[in-house]
Amino acid sequence: MAPIIELKNVTKEFKVLNRREGLKGSLRDLFSRDYKTVRAVDNISMSIEQGEIIGYLGPNGAGKSTTIKMMTGVLEPTSGEITVDGTVPYYNRAKNAQKIGVVFGQRSQLWWALPLVESFKLLKDIYMIEDKPYKDMLALYQSLVDIEPLLHKTVRQMSLGQRTLSDILAAFLHDPKIVFLDEPTIGLDVSMKSKIRTLIHALNKEKNTTVILTTHDMGDVDALCRRIAIIDKGKMLYDNDIEHLKGFFGSYRTLKIRTDGDHKIQAEAIRAELPDFSVSADDEWISVLVDEDRQKVIDVLGQLQKSYDIRDMQLNEISTEEVIRKIYEEGVQ
Ligand SMILES: Nc1ncnc2c1ncn2[C@@H]1O[C@H](COP(=O)(O)OP(=O)(O)O)[C@@H](O)[C@H]1O
Ligand SMILES: [Mg+2]
């Protein structure tokens, strides 16, 4: 089968004004404009199959949102080609809109002053959804999350979590073939994140919807994505299964220890003591990434034991979080 989305050597450049400093500079800008070119997306090719959930990852400013805007037809590439389900999105925006749903985290696409159910009815008209599939979809939603109390709330009255949930439901309402989720879990608490992940997973399974997800939360990636594409400075660094990527770091282990002290403060001290290791901490664990080809875990543990009262420990494979951090820091070897 042909891929549902195909990008071929896609590049997007923006012309931005090189602003000069101070009043004199502003006056000069008025008369002679000095532009520079920013290459936000640099020769990216990618093909995505119907039903996949792909994690589109990269640091801030990497070019993720720009890529999504081109796939949704909002922006036209400077060069290269995109097809989305056989159409060129930026030449056929209306046609493309029928096939896609979009959620940009923190920027709701819904009508603020309307109860959610009224927004849904408007979307029903806009997308020309028939009564039966509309009713079926609402029934499916009700089976997945308790939407009844949300339906009669205005978006304005909702918490960020409820709003995100509503935005996602709205994006799937016309049963699009593809849904783009740009940082959907940003700012949400742990339980809401988990609810949203379960919902996205269920909708993908139920409707075989293709999902393009950008996120900084590796919990989202672990819960939802088998495949990840990583870009940095507009260039594609990696595009394959996450497990395949972890395979490059086969000799790495995450040593996790729990102590009675403040983990954040202790992690800071461990970082100073072991500058070659990547160390992170949360309430539950202090994690030290060890390359067993270079150092034995047992030796590292021995060294830590001298300075810290270790209550509990665990040894794990490298986590998604750590793999991605290493890729950002060092690239793919
Ligand atoms: N409309 C625009 N005009 C000029 N530069 C832009 C525009 N949109 C994005 N950029 C630049 O393109 C780069 C990629 O941005 P973006 O796609 O938003 O990154 P990401 O979503 O990965 O954080 C950044 O350097 C950003 O400043
Ligand atoms: Mg972005």
- Please write the tens of the pLDDT for every residue from 101-143: 999 877 888 999 999 999 999 999 999 999 999 999 999 999 9
Task: Kindly report the pTM of this predicted structure.
Answer: 0.89
Copy the structure tokens of residue 139. Answer: 């029934």
Cβ atoms of 44 and 7 closer than 8 Å: yes
With H, G, I as helix, E, B as strand and everything else as coil, classify residue 268.
helix
Which range (102-111, 238-247, 255-264, 298-307) has the least confidence? 102-111
Amino acid letter for position 214: T
Residue linked to tokens 């159409």: 87
Across 138-251, the runs of DSSP E, i.e. the strands, are: 178-182, 210-214, 227-232, 235-241
Could you tell me which residues come within 8 angstroms of residue 113 by beta carbon, excluding any fewer than 6 positions away?
A: 154, 155, 156
Cβ atoms of 144 and 202 closer than 8 Å: yes
Copy the structure tokens of residue 182. Answer: 């740009």
Give the mean model confidence (pLDDT) for residues 18-31.
Answer: 79
> d(Cα 177, Cα 249) in Å, to the nearest integer?
35
- What residues pair up with 239 in beta bridges, in sequence order? 229
The torsion of the CA quartet 228, 229, 230, 236, rounded to 10 degrees, works out to: 160
Given a cut of 80, whether residue 315 has pLDDT beyond it is yes
Cα(20) to centroid of ligand 2, in Å?
Answer: 27
Query: Cα 267 from chain centroid?
Result: 27
Which range (27-31, 239-243, 278-282, 289-293) has the least confidence? 27-31
239 dihedral zone (left: phi>0; alpha: psi -120 to 50; beta): beta
Given a cut of 80, whether residue 159 has pLDDT beyond it is yes
Helices 263-273 and 297-307: angle between axes, nearest 10 degrees: 120
Q: Is 16 in the pocket of ligand 1 (CB under 6 A)?
A: yes
Amino acid letter for position 223: A
Copy the structure tokens of residue 151. Answer: 């339906």
Given a cut of 90, whether residue 328 has pLDDT beyond it is no
The residue whose C-alpha atom lies closest to atom 14 belonging to ligand 1 is: 63
Give the mean model confidence (pLDDT) for residues 219-225.
Answer: 96
Those residues whose beta carbon sits under 5 angstroms from the ion ligand 2 are 64-65
Residue linked to tokens 């996790």: 256
> d(Cα 316, Cα 287) in Å, to the nearest integer?
10
pLDDT above 90 covers a percentage of the chain that reads 82
pLDDT above 70 covers a percentage of the chain that reads 99
Cα(57) to centroid of ligand 2, in Å?
Answer: 10
Question: Is residue 276 very low, low, confident or very high in pLDDT (cuts 50, 70, 90)?
Answer: confident
Cα(246) to centroid of ligand 2, in Å?
Answer: 25
Nearest atom in ligand 1 to the alpha carbon of residue 62 is 22
Q: Is 59 in the pocket of ligand 1 (CB under 6 A)?
A: no
User: Counting runs of H as helices and runs of E as strands, what totals does the chain give?
Assistant: 13, 13
| Residue-range domains of the chain with CATH | 5-245 (3.40.50.300), 251-317 (3.30.70)
Buried b (16+ CB within 10 A) or exposed e, 147-161: beebbebebeebeeb
Count the alpha carbons within 13 Å of 56 in the hemisphere toward its beta carbon: 28
